[in-house]
Structure 1
Amino acid sequence: MNTTHLKVCTECGTQYPENYTGNSCIICEDERQAVPQSGQSWTTYEQLLEKHSVKIKKINDTLYEFVVNPRFSIGQRALFVISESGNLLWDCIPLIDDEVIEFIQSKGGLKGIAISHPHYYSMMKMWAEAFNSIIYIHEKDKEWVVNGGNSVEYWKGDHMNLWDQLKLHNIGGHFEGSSIIEIPEMSEKGTLLIGDTMYLSPSMKHFATMRSYPNRIPLPLSEVKRIEKRFEEISFDTIYGFYSYQNVEKNAKEIVKNSFSKYE
């Protein structure tokens, strides 16, 4: 695997292209993220590999978690979905190493990468090139793609069917293109991988729906109610969010319903 010396934002983990000569991260400059008070700083893929690796954890027979260890930038996980017609990576992390490449190859490779929103674009181009994969991003978030290469496929509308009943849903809210993926056969009534289109509380009893979680910027009530209707239309009993603790493996729809009822 070829390494690069491309600049990587230390705050959000986004990797910028070779021709980027600026010194600011457009994703962190946006009100939904933040530039640290100490100022913008950068690292590289090679520097990250010196102290970090990808940790692999099994969640169930068809779902694995990838995280950067020790934690770097936002600290999100990517979720690796094993599926008969091709495996899928949900969201992306700002590191890829030989161990995770060998693991994915041992499970049949990687057909596609689907990303919930711009905060998790990270090193998506390197991941896609390592496996010759397509990257699925909603067209409403196209302006935030700084280093996608030729692998990005922009999809449109409220939903997109992939393969083996995998289905992307554009929910909006956090970003206009914020999306989730539905996996009907992973649990009795269906499983959702949501990134942070909704944010599960540490109590595991409430999902928040906001424009910005780190900056505590709310959404208009009308937008929250629109999002509530979208989740009502989807069958599910299980949700996996963007942090490792965010696994709701029973009564997920009831928790979502109760969470939205607080927005009055």
Structure 2
Amino acid sequence: MSPGYLPFKDALDLPAFFCENCGFWQRHFTRPDSCPLCIDSRHVMPQRGWHFHTVEEARDRYPCHWAEVEPGVWRFFNDPIDGIGSSGYLIQTAAGNLAFEGCGVYSEDALALIATLGGVQVLAASHPHSYGAIWQLQDRFDPELALHPGDLSWSGALCVSWPFDDVLEPLPGLSLHLTAGHFDGHTVLYDRGRHILFCGDCLKFELDPADARRATTISAHKAFVRGIPLTPAELRRYRDVFAALDFTQTWTPFEQAANSGRREALTLIDTMMATRPHAYPVPLETL
């Protein structure tokens, strides 16, 4: 599907290796010596050194599961999983399917299921922490890959065919919006028909142990694992994007919060902008 020109396409035939510490995949001619995402200031170094797995090894270690969380919206995840452990979402529409984010590794059964659901016409992700194994979806289904150029330096395992600026609607009713902040190219996906914002790492939730769809707290971070807050200007950019989107649910790569939408996100941001940014979880009942 890509209109791009690939004079060095054989580079994408190199084997891929999974970082056990963060879940980032690299294409390399041999097992890598280190992982750029672990070294980055938004993550942490492995305490016992790096360990990398081939796709076959990762599939053996990390079973892939799936569930239709809402009609036409599928979640793919690994349990157990090392690394960040993000979910991958498949959103079905009458015009085609969009896969957003990626789980750690897709099994052959998971890929076969995706094929029966119509495959993948468009592929996107919010930022490198949740790329997961989207390279498997690109290798199998040859979709358009829409990523913001701000994160191109992290996309060496992929072929970006559809870079965009601030907003892109790759399928009717599904739009990508640049927020920056957490990463320079951090992007959210808005499902207009279902009123769901797939927010990447813009927001984070803690969930009710008795109800996995009910969030109890909300927070925002520059770096979650390091507890670094966003700046006022970064929060203002988030607010501008969120205010224009009518969403009643907010899904991260880890949580599918059905009880937190635009109102809660804007109230959190307004509170921090009126005082000072922080990275603490705020109880939703106080907003």
TM-score, length basis structure 2: 0.83
What does residue 181 of structure 1 align with? 189
Question: Are 1:254 and 2:254 an aligned pair?
Answer: no
Question: Are 1:225 and 2:236 an aligned pair?
Answer: yes
For 2:16 and 2:231, the matched residues in 1 are separated by: 38
Aligned-pair CA distance for 1:94: 2.3
For 1:172 and 1:23, the matched residues in 2 are separated by: 29
For 1:202 and 1:173, the matched residues in 2 are separated by: 24
SS at match of 2:266: helix
What does residue 192 of structure 1 align with? 197
Contiguous gaps of at least 5 residues in structure 2: 1-12, 209-214, 276-287
Aligned-pair CA distance for 1:182: 0.8
4+ residue runs of structure 1 moved beyond 4 angstroms?
A: none
SS at match of 2:25: coil
User: Residues 1-264 of structure 1: matches in 2 within 5 Å?
Assistant: 6-19=16-29, 22-148=32-158, 151-186=159-194, 190-202=195-207, 204-243=215-254, 246-263=255-272, 264=275
For 2:116 and 2:182, the matched residues in 1 are separated by: 35
For 1:180 and 1:237, the matched residues in 2 are separated by: 15
User: Could you report, residue by residue, the CA deviation over 1:26-81 in whole angstroms, capped at 9, with x for unpaired residues?
Assistant: 11110001111212221221112223221011111111110012223111111110
Identical aligned pairs, as a percentage? 20
For 1:13 and 1:56, the matched residues in 2 are separated by: 18
Aligned-pair CA distance for 1:192: 0.9
For 1:181 and 1:91, the matched residues in 2 are separated by: 10
For 1:260 and 1:110, the matched residues in 2 are separated by: 34
For the 8 Å contact 2:144–2:161, the answer to whether it is kept is yes
For 2:162 and 2:37, the matched residues in 1 are separated by: 19
Larger displacement relative to structure 2 (152-161 or 104-113): 152-161
For the 8 Å contact 2:146–2:161, the answer to whether it is kept is yes
Aligned-pair CA distance for 1:142: 0.7
SS at match of 1:12: coil
For 2:186 and 2:21, the matched residues in 1 are separated by: 20
For 2:51 and 2:61, the matched residues in 1 are separated by: 17
For the 8 Å contact 1:64–1:81, the answer to whether it is kept is yes
For 1:111 and 1:139, the matched residues in 2 are separated by: 20
SS at match of 1:172: coil
* Matching residue's letter, 2:177: H
Aligned-pair CA distance for 1:5: 5.1
User: Could you report, residue by residue, the CA deviation over 1:133-152 in whole angstroms, capped at 9, with x for unpaired residues?
Assistant: 2222110011112211xx32
RMSD: 2.0
SS at match of 2:84: coil
Aligned-pair CA distance for 1:197: 2.0
TM-score, length basis structure 1: 0.89
For the 8 Å contact 2:67–2:76, the answer to whether it is kept is yes
* Matching residue's letter, 2:244: E
For 2:31 and 2:60, the matched residues in 1 are separated by: 25
Larger displacement relative to structure 2 (103-112 or 12-21): 12-21
Aligned-pair CA distance for 1:18: 2.9
Aligned-pair CA distance for 1:117: 0.1
